[in-house]
Amino acid sequence: MPREVVVAEGLTKVFDGFKAVDEVSFRVVEGEVFGFLGPNGAGKTTTINMLITLMKPTKGEAWINGYSVLKEPDKVRRSIGVVFQDSTVDRELTGWENMWIHGVTYKVPRDVLKRKIVDLLGFVELDKYAKTQVRNYSGGMVRRLEIARALLHEPEVLFLDEPTLGLDPQTRAKIWEYILELKRRTGMTIFLTTHYMDEAERLCDRVAIIDHGKILVVGSPEELKRMIGRDVVYVKAFDERSAKMLIGEVARRGLALSYASPSSNVVSFTVEDAHSFIPEVFEVSSRLGVHILEVKYSKPTLNDVFLHLTGRELRDESGSWMDFMRARMRRGFRRG
Ligand SMILES: Nc1ncnc2c1ncn2[C@@H]1O[C@H](COP(=O)(O)OP(=O)(O)O)[C@@H](O)[C@H]1O
Ligand SMILES: [Mg+2]
């Protein structure tokens, strides 16, 4: 039996009568990369805060590395490395100084500490910038420094809260590489949160999809996608009324496994086989006298899984605006 490094049972957090996290239970085994995928406000950060002993659960319990977050918070803290959603490095200090202070705080022996800082800054390719003030780092460099810092005291489990939030695609890919390399090299247990489906897909062995404080489903990205069907067909109808007529007739004939409407005149159908469904949907539309503007099909993504579970899309406008502001804040509104 693989060792269970993170165990949550019925974790619940209520803020002034509002349930931000609602009876969340899951288990993460040693060496696993486990992700919480969900939109803004789903309760990801609140869950992490309870796991890392920053916040007391209203109800429920969790164990990290076998230690109770309620009864043994010190032992929990020594078992974990954390990269917070919002940057926590000291911008006035250099990368090296930020690492050093963290190492001293965690009582890493001085002789070991120096070597470890060199190793870790090398790992995230910041060795050349060790003596540079963090205020001159880009958003991606800050994240890399934070990952290196979280690893300094050799934690049993690494928590990453939205590790690539607001970063550009190339920088994100670079961070993904480090995380995958860390898994390969050390077999570290990693718990991460994200609202990027491609990130969950790329990094996670198993994903829990979370919405409104509740875990909707848990499984490997493959399992989750297989769950909804083999193909997804998007049909863009002339208007909302046409879309509704199509849905009604497709449902009546049992042609699709499920449907969801990401917007008023668009329908996403999950089907066993797009090649047989598409002619059928055209046949239905001509019989109904409904005008179809566009048909697309693809293999399901985790976004489709989310859409078919909740009726909403994972990516939302407010999310991207928040990302933008957060990224700006992380860069300290520096030009360029
Ligand atoms: N300290 C707090 N007081 C009141 N409400 C909070 C607090 N922290 C988070 N929330 C609310 O709880 C919900 C979950 O927030 P959060 O855990 O930050 O979500 P996520 O990290 O998934 O975006 C949100 O509706 C948020 O507004
Ligand atoms: Mg969050």
Q: What is the pLDDT of residue 146?
A: 97
* Residue 15 in contact with ligand 1 by CB distance below 6 A: yes
* Residue 318 in contact with ligand 1 by CB distance below 6 A: no
Nearest residue (CA) to ligand 1, atom 2 = 15
**Rounded average pLDDT over 22-33:** 98
Q: Are both 98 and 206 inside the same structural domain?
A: yes
**Rounded average pLDDT over 205-211:** 97
Distance of CA 142 to the CA centre of its chain: 19
Is a pLDDT exceeding 50 seen at residue 159?
A: yes
Q: Are both 124 and 256 inside the same structural domain?
A: no
Q: Are both 216 and 236 inside the same structural domain?
A: no
Q: What is the pLDDT of residue 319?
A: 43
Residue 336's pLDDT band, with cuts at 50, 70 and 90, is very low
pLDDT in tens, 254-302: 999 999 998 899 999 999 999 999 999 999 999 999 999 999 999 999 9
Q: Are both 250 and 202 inside the same structural domain?
A: no
Q: What is the pLDDT of residue 316?
A: 52
Q: Are both 96 and 20 inside the same structural domain?
A: yes
- Domain assignment present for 323: no
Q: Are both 240 and 199 inside the same structural domain?
A: no
H helix intervals, 192-269: 197-203, 221-228, 240-253
For residue 47, give the ligand 1 atom closest to its CA.
17
Is a pLDDT exceeding 70 seen at residue 321?
A: no
- Domain assignment present for 313: no
Q: What is the CATH number of the domain that holds 249?
A: 3.30.70.260
Is a pLDDT exceeding 70 seen at residue 324?
A: no
* Residue 40 in contact with ligand 1 by CB distance below 6 A: yes
Residues 44/210, Cβ–Cβ less than 8 Å: yes
Nearest residue (CA) to ligand 1, atom 26 = 41
pLDDT in tens, 104-151: 999 999 999 999 999 999 999 999 999 999 999 999 999 999 999 999
State in Å: Cα 21 to ligand 1 middle.
9
Mean pLDDT (the chain) is 92
**Rounded average pLDDT over 30-57:** 97
pLDDT over 70, % of the chain: 93
Q: Are both 188 and 252 inside the same structural domain?
A: no
Residues 221/302, Cβ–Cβ less than 8 Å: yes
C-alpha to C-alpha distance for 245 and 243, rounded to whole angstroms = 5
Strand partners, 258: 270
- Domain assignment present for 333: no
Domain count along the chain:
2
pLDDT over 90, % of the chain: 90
H helix intervals, the chain: 44-51, 73-79, 95-105, 110-123, 139-151, 169-186, 197-203, 221-228, 240-253, 274-288, 302-310, 317-330
- Domain assignment present for 318: no
- Domain assignment present for 107: yes
Q: What is the pLDDT of residue 44?
A: 98
Global pTM reads 0.90
Greater confidence, 233 or 330? Answer: 233
Q: Are both 11 and 142 inside the same structural domain?
A: yes
Residue 225 has phi, psi (to 5 degrees) of -70, -40
Q: Are both 141 and 272 inside the same structural domain?
A: no
Distance of CA 189 to the CA centre of its chain: 15
- Domain assignment present for 322: no
pLDDT in tens, 233-255: 999 999 999 999 999 999 999 99
Domain residues for the domain of 88 are 4-220
Residues 189/157, Cβ–Cβ less than 8 Å: yes
Residues, CB within 5 angstroms of ligand 2 (ion):
44-45, 85
- Domain assignment present for 316: no
Residue 335's pLDDT band, with cuts at 50, 70 and 90, is very low
* Residue 39 in contact with ligand 1 by CB distance below 6 A: no
- Domain assignment present for 74: yes
Q: What is the CATH number of the domain that holds 110?
A: 3.40.50.300
pLDDT in tens, 74-116: 999 999 999 999 999 999 999 999 999 999 999 999 999 999 9
Quick check: helix, strand or coil at residue 71? coil
Quick check: helix, strand or coil at residue 177? helix
Sheet architecture: strand order including 189-194: 80-83, 157-161, 189-194, 33-37, 206-211, 214-219
